[in-house]
Amino acid sequence: MKKLKISFLFTLLSILSFIIFSGVSVFQSNSFDQTTAVESKHVAKNKNLDKYSDKPLGAFVEINTTTFRLFAPNALKVFLITFNNYDDDYGKAFEMKVDKDGVWEFIVRADLTNKYYGYKVFNNEYDDLDTLPLCVDPYAKAVATYNTYMNPRKSIVYNEEYNWENDEWIQRDWKDLIIYEMHIRDITAHQSSGAKFPGQYKGLTEKNIKGGLPYIKNLGINTVELLPAMEFGTMEIPFEDSLSGRFNTWNPYERNHWGYMTSNFFAPAAYYAENWKNFKRDEWMGVDGNQVTEFKDMVKAFHKEGIGVVMDVVYNHLSEYEIGNLKQIDKEYYFRLDENGNFIAESYCGNDLKTEAPMMRRLILESIIYWMKEYHIDGFRFDLGKLIDWETIEEIIHEARKINPNVVFVCEPWGGGYDPEGFSLRDWGAWNDQIRNGIKGENPIDGLGWIFGKWYGNNSPQRIKSYVNGTLVRDQHGLFHRKEHSVNYLESHDGYTLGDFIRIGTNSVKHDSIITDVDKNILLDEEQLRLNKLGALFLFTSQGITMIHSGQEFARSKVIPFNIEVPDEHKGMIDHNSYNKDNETNYINYFHADMNKELLDYYKGLIQLRNTFDAFRRADYNNIEFFEKANSEFALGYSLIYNGDKFVVLFNANPGTEETFSLPEGNWSILVNHVKAGIEVLEKVNEKITLPVSSGVVLKLN
């Protein structure tokens, strides 16, 4: 769940203010040879919620012909508006025909490739062509956006071929996934990355640089999960100023950086295709459609290195940072409304999409299939998945697997409810918040978890054992029917980084301290280093899907910099909700990775261990046996056997006492201890082993 997404309803004042602000002007009449203007019947009182059509939607170019189709069953009239240039105030208006199923159509006897267009939708008999907002095509393949609040957009008739060079989807068993959650811009935006195209799709195709793709490959990661990369609303109201009856008191950055305000489900975000150091207000972006090719180049570059690409997608709500989308096309059909016609917003994001409506379901499904076929995307992570109805969830995975049997589907199992087991029953994976909260804790101030030697909430030794096994329903309080449905993680884009959680949890720094020396803050002391390693070791030796967030591997810290021209009263503090910051709060600083190289190398070693030995991914439930005679409730040990290999994994989460374990019979090689991790033998032991405080080991039978 994205915090601090402010929900609101657009009023008539919003619409009028947008029109004045964006400069939408009177449109000229038809000028192409072929017109199909008709007088539409009044259908506003008929909500047409059961309407459905199989016709292709969007803009399609064939030989000297461009067809436009829009589904809007409750509209009174719809006009297609075309533009020669992205910044034209005047366009050509064509009244469209509607069929019995609510699909509006207009055919132009010309190839309009690379031209711009939108729709004017009449939902009221008093609507006026001049004052209606220009609506973006929900099926637009590329979009040009004017960077200001309400994000005025024009759809692009996109019709380009691409050479994939025999690229295919990555076929990988879910058990083998090691996911690296990352933001496209943040991963190369910092100067330390060495990228020539910092913050762009292109930056992730560069070789021989310190950051970006070479860094991810060197870690051993096999799958990246991109924070939202479909076209999204980026601009908020000017800070401490009003616009359209709203006063911005919450976001001095006037930005939505993470991208959880999707506006177009078929178009890649132009935000990551622009060559600028600082994002610019009151300018157009995405006007040439290059974001399409650059996104494909990025995916192809990852695939060439054997790295899968998963997209974080938002189908539960629509961007509220704009006007001229599904809300103005057909509010009654596409959105869940209360009895007074107001948006329901269990997403806390201003609106919830009516995913159960047949054509909304079709839009979601076709979007997924499009990204798989057109962009070779290997999987999807659904934001607030519980807000998507079950029939849609079931149909998505059924149809997607016809294309790629190994396509990845995981989600946040909350949003208007909480049901990870429901997703597991439908063969979806879900983020495992039990392991996150149980191992590190729920908050670093008064909710510390197991690695700190604490039992937070209802956590217990039995639950810790359950996490090792994939948090299965066969264990009491388990969540999943198959271990590969459990996405095990300790850090994500939401909340404090694991490094900062530990810094605050150990009282090394207060959550509201002013940090003047960022380098000193990032450098781990002995206690912080041990706790980071302990959490990582538990994560990488547990059954299920493993996920880390970018920078977790070197205990990244999100300190808000002082040298930004933004009136932020929290400058110098650690940030736990950096959704609005296109600055060094979020950028991956590879100099800091060098400073905490011991932890970085430890993560590399754990990734190598997990990739090398199937036991940590595929061991059967019955082949994991826990030691019952540990000396402390914070001492945990177990053995596991798979394919002839036998391992022992031991943890001492007690912060004040060493723990001695008796080992099973045999000679054991230590592969992981409190200093190093990997597949090389560090030491050989038998009979007994003593673990320092806050540490763990992995041993392999010789």
340 torsion bin: left (phi>0), alpha (psi -120 to 50), beta (else): alpha
**Regarding beta strands 408-411 and 246-247, do their DSSP bridges make them parallel or antiparallel, or are they unpaired?**
unpaired
The answer to whether 456 touches 512, Cβ cutoff 8 Å, is no
Q: Which entry of 181, 383, 553, 584 is annotated as an active-site residue?
A: 383
SS3 76: coil
Instruction: Look up 383 and say whether it is catalytic.
Output: yes
Q: Catalytic residue among 225, 412, 442, 659, which? A: 412
Phi, psi angle pair for 519, to nearest 5°: -65, -40
- Both tokens of 664, joined, read 């099973």
CA distance linking residue 9 with residue 273, whole number of Å: 31
Q: What are the phi and psi torsion angles at 497 (to 5°)?
A: -65, 160
Distance between CA atoms of 656 and 694, rounded to whole angstroms?
Answer: 8
SS3 content of the chain, % helix, strand, coil (to 5): 25, 20, 50
How large is the C-alpha radius of gyration of the chain?
27
Note if 167 is an active site residue: no
587 in helix, strand or coil? coil
Give the side-chain half-sphere CA count within 13 A for 74.
19
Tell me which residue of 636, 632, 606, 611 sits closest to 466, measured CA to CA.
636
Residues β-bridged to residue 635: 652
CA–CA separation, 269 vs 282, rounded Å? Answer: 17
State the helix-helix crossing angle for 390-400 and 358-375, rounded to 10 degrees: 30
Q: Which helix (H) or strand (E) holds 533?
A: helix 526-541
Asked if residue 502 lies in contact with residue 532, where contact means CB atoms within 8 angstroms, the answer is yes
CB-based burial of residue 541 (10 Å sphere; 0-12 exposed, 13-18 middle, 19+ buried)? buried
**Please, which residues have CB within 8 angstroms of residue 130's CB and are 6 or more apart in sequence?**
24, 25, 26, 27
Type of residue found at 619: A
Q: Which residues contact 234 (CB under 8 A, 6 or more apart)?
A: 145, 147, 151, 255, 256, 257, 261, 271, 279, 321
Q: How many residues does the structure list for the chain?
A: 702
Q: Supply the angle between the helices 526-541 and 597-612 in degrees, to the nearest 10.
A: 10
74 close to 44: Cβ distance less than 8 angstroms: yes
Distance from CA of residue 371 to its chain's centroid? 15
Q: 172-175, long-range: CB within 8 Å, 24+ apart, which pairs?
A: 172/222, 172/223, 172/308, 172/378, 172/406, 173/406, 173/484, 174/406, 174/408, 174/429, 174/484, 174/485, 174/545, 175/483, 175/484, 175/544, 175/545, 175/617, 175/618
Backbone phi, psi, residue 76, to 5°: -85, -45
CA 134 to chain CA centroid, Å, is 28
Structure tokens at 663: 């080992």
DSSP 547: E
The residues annotated with a catalytic role in the active site are 383, 412
